[in-house]
Homo-oligomer: A and B are copies of this chain.
Amino acid sequence: MTIDEDCHQDCPGLLPEPAVDELRLEAVLHALADPTRLRIVADLAWAGGDELNCLAFELPVTKSTLTHHFRVLREAGLIRQHRRGTSKMNTLRVGDLAARFPGLLDAVLAAAEPCFTTPKPAAH
């Protein structure tokens, strides 16, 4: 059933995603405009390039909803998804986004950070 066209030469299990020159600004902004997705992107950014599976995020939504948001992010080109066993690993496409929309992701993350800074042992 699954023809697995996502099986490129180097990365089996890589799910289809837009190429760098196919990234659309509207889609990226729309994907980032949702608080749940913005949170996911921020978490991925803090992971520093590490892969995170879909359930590694503590979000107040069900798995179905999470799947939906991850697909929106992937189809907008913000994240890369890669099957690995029963899990699906997610990474931010930092380089691709910086190449296509220089400074955009950095500015969004810098603006979003104050909203999500939970661990802050500095004060108190």
Residues of A bordering B, CB below 8 Å = 25-26, 29-30, 32-35, 38, 100-104, 106-108, 110-112, 115
Q: Could you pull out 7 A-B pairs where Cβ atoms are within 8 angstroms?
A: A30-B33, A33-B33, A101-B107, A101-B110, A102-B107, A103-B110, A104-B107
Contact check, B108 vs A29: say whether CB atoms are below 8 A apart.
yes
Number of this chain's copies in the assembly equals 2
Min CB gap A59→B, angstroms: 15
Question: Which residues from B are CB-within-8-Å of A101?
Answer: 107, 110-111
Contact check, A29 vs B33: say whether CB atoms are below 8 A apart.
yes
Per a CB cutoff under 8 Å, which of B26, B32, B102, B112 touches A110? B102
Min CB gap A26→B, angstroms: 6
